[in-house]
């Protein structure tokens, strides 16, 4: 079976993890701050807060931005459910902005229209969460301009996009957002098993996220609410937080993987270029790549328009599966999940997202995919059209 994605673990990665296993600290040791510094420096951000997964990163990002009961958070429907759940964790309501059919990222035009309508009825969002689908950055400059006009904060869900670039700068520099979050799940670009990170240039947001990550506890005397009394009193819980910490074992893996990030992304780009070339003369459509962006290619979806292909998504999916290629769909529009339908969302809410859902499949792309495996995938795809 050829999967759509998988991790790439080297002997060096293993050695780094083993070193931590033999050391004094399995968690709350020196590896976590080192991993944070490596990611912050790679992205050009000033602060990084490592957490146990990207879902936790989204949650503490929303909390740090003050999202709570009665607030509104907007995201795209073509994402993993975690981009929306973070708002619900905070007691906020969630809403969805349709995608642009060419990149399948959140449509800036739809966002602008929806904001104008929301303003008229006093229902503007507190936070908007654009998702860099497949590793291609959203049009952050335009979304940032709208945030200035309408007064909302921005969390970039860059779970797919570490190693990607926007306007020549690494994704995660937060030039056009408050916070950017990354995922280190094994299918993503680099992995820590489970893991995530929130980066920001705002020291106050970083401080809050550090507190939310670890029970709302601080050991910084300046942040303590009860004055020190001379007793031994070295930490205080000053708000309600969580145990969202990353372990040193995971951070060691992450730090080791960071040294190969550029290589991973280059290999993914080469695979994408080969799919582009080989599928150019087929009726399969690909996502448009904008001039301003350089994708990290977490995913490589194709769109199967049955009118043009003579086959539908299900037929191509089944054919690939029969030939040992386990592709996937990313994603079912989040609001079509039963949990969100129960909030009142229904079929047809975001028409472009629903069309994508009916047409897309993600082809295998990962750094250890061999050229002959990719050629096999391409061959089977061509066959799928002709059977
Ligand atoms: C994977 C993913 C997440 C969640 O990441 P975890 O690290 O598994 O919590 C969130 N958003 C998107 C877009 C993702 O792809």
DSSP string, 201-250: S-HHHHHHHHHHHBTTEE--GGG-SSPP-SSS---EE-S---B-PPBHHH
Q: Cis (ω within 30 of 0) for the bond into 331?
A: yes
User: pTM for this structure?
Assistant: 0.97
Supply 147's token pair: 């945030």
Which tokens belong to 119? 């303003």
* Distance of CA 54 from the midpoint of ligand 1 (Å): 5
> Rounded to an integer, what distance in angstroms lies between the CA atom of residue 320 and that of residue 83?
29
pLDDT value of position 224? 87
In the three-class reduction of DSSP (H, G, I as helix; E, B as strand; rest coil), residue 114 is classed as helix
Q: Strand, coil or helix: what is 2?
A: strand
pLDDT value for 111: 98
- Is the C-beta atom of 180 inside 6 A of ligand 1? no
Place of tokens 């990084």: 48
State if residue 330 touches ligand 1 by the CB under 6 angstroms criterion: no
Whether the CB-CB separation of 57 and 182 falls below 8 Å is answered with yes
pLDDT value of residue 234: 82
Closest ligand 1 atom to 184 CA = 7
pLDDT of residue 253: 98
The candidate with the shortest Cα–Cα distance to 40, out of 167, 135, 179, 166, is: 179
Ligand 1 site, residue 295, Cβ cutoff 6 A: no
What is the pLDDT at residue 226?
Answer: 82
Pocket test for ligand 1, best of 60, 83, 198 (most atoms within 8 A of CB): 83
Is 183 near ligand 1, meaning CB less than 6 Å away? Answer: yes
d(CA 10, ligand 1 centre) in Å: 23
Per-residue model confidence (pLDDT) at position 232: 62
Cβ–ligand 1 contact at 131 (below 6 Å) = yes
Return the best residue to mutate from 133, 185, 353 for the ligand 1 pocket (most ligand atoms within 8 A of CB).
185
In the reported structure, the alpha carbon of residue 249 is separated from the centroid of ligand 1 by a whole-number distance in angstroms of 20
Counts for the chain of helices (H) and strands (E), in that order = 14, 15
Give residue 302's pLDDT. 98
Phi, psi of 273 (to 5 degrees): -60, -40
Among the atoms of ligand 1, which is closest to the Cα of residue 57? Answer: 9
Q: Give the number of the atom of ligand 1 that is nearest the alpha carbon of residue 330.
A: 15
Q: Is 55 in the pocket of ligand 1 (CB under 6 A)?
A: yes
* pLDDT the model gives residue 230: 64
Distance 281 CA to ligand 1 centre (A): 33
Mutate to test the pocket of ligand 1, among 7, 82, 242, 329 (most ligand atoms within 8 A of CB): 82
* 363 neighbors 301 (Cβ within 8 angstroms): yes
Contact yes or no for 28/245 (Cβ under 8 A): yes
Residue 168 Cα to ligand 1 middle (Å): 25
The strand pairing partners of 96, in sequence order, are: 75
pLDDT per residue, tens digit, the chain (387 aa), is 999 999 999 999 999 999 999 999 999 999 999 999 999 999 999 999 999 999 999 999 999 999 999 999 999 999 999 999 999 999 999 999 999 999 999 999 999 999 999 999 999 999 999 999 999 999 999 999 999 999 999 999 999 999 999 999 999 999 999 999 999 999 999 999 999 999 999 999 999 999 999 999 998 888 888 876 666 678 899 999 999 999 999 999 999 999 999 999 999 999 999 999 999 999 999 999 999 999 999 999 999 999 999 999 999 999 999 999 999 999 999 999 999 999 999 999 999 999 999 999 999 999 999 999 999 999 999 999 997
82 CA: nearest ligand 1 atom: 10
Centroid of ligand 1 to alpha carbon of 184 (angstroms): 8
Cβ of 299 closer than 6 Å to ligand 1, yes or no, is no
Query: How high is the pLDDT of residue 387?
Result: 79
Cβ 158 vs Cβ 181: under 8 Å: yes
| Closest ligand 1 atom number to CA of residue 133 | 13
């Amino acid at each position: 079976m050829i999967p759509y994605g998988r991790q790439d673990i080297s002997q060096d990665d293993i050695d780094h993890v083993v070193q931590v296993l033999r050391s004094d600290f399995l968690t709350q040791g020196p590896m976590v701050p080192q991993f944070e510094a490596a990611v912050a420096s790679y992205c050009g951000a000033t602060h990084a807060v490592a957490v146990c997964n990207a879902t936790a990163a989204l949650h503490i990002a929303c909390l740090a931005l003050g999202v709570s009961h009665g607030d509104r958070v907007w995201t795209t429907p073509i994402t993993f459910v975690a981009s929306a759940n973070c708002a619900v964790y905070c007691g906020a309501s969630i809403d969805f902005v349709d995608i642009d059919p060419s990149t399948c990222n959140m449509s800036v035009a739809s966002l602008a229209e929806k904001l104008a309508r929301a303003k008229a009825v006093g229902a503007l969002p507190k936070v908007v969460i654009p998702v860099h689908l497949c590793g291609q950055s959203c049009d952050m400059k335009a979304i940032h301009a709208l945030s200035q006009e309408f007064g909302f904060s921005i969390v970039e869900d860059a779970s797919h996009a570490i190693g990607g670039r926007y306007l020549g700068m690494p994704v995660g520099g937060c030039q056009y957002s408050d916070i950017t979050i990354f995922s280190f799940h094994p299918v993503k670009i680099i992995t820590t098993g489970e893991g995530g990170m929130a980066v920001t240039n705002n020291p106050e947001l970083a401080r809050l996220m550090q507190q939310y990550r670890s029970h709302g506890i601080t050991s910084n005397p300046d942040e303590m609410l009860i004055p020190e009394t001379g007793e031994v009193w070295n930490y205080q819980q000053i708000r309600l937080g969580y145990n969202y910490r990353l372990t040193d074992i995971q951070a060691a893996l992450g730090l080791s993987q960071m040294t190969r990030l550029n290589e991973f992304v280059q290999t993914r780009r080469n695979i994408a270029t080969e799919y582009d070339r080989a599928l150019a003369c087929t009726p399969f459509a690909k996502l448009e790549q904008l001039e301003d962006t350089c994708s990290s290619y977490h995913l490589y979806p194709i769109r199967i328009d049955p009118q043009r292909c003579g086959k539908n998504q299900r037929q191509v999916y089944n054919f690939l599966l029969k030939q040992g290629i386990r592709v996937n769909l990313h994603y079912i529009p989040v609001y079509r999940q039963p949990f969100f339908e129960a909030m009142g969302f229904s079929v047809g809410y975001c028409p472009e997202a629903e069309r994508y859902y009916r047409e897309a499949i993600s082809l295998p792309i990962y750094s250890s995919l061999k050229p002959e495996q990719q050629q096999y995938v391409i061959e089977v795809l061509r066959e799928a059209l002709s059977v």
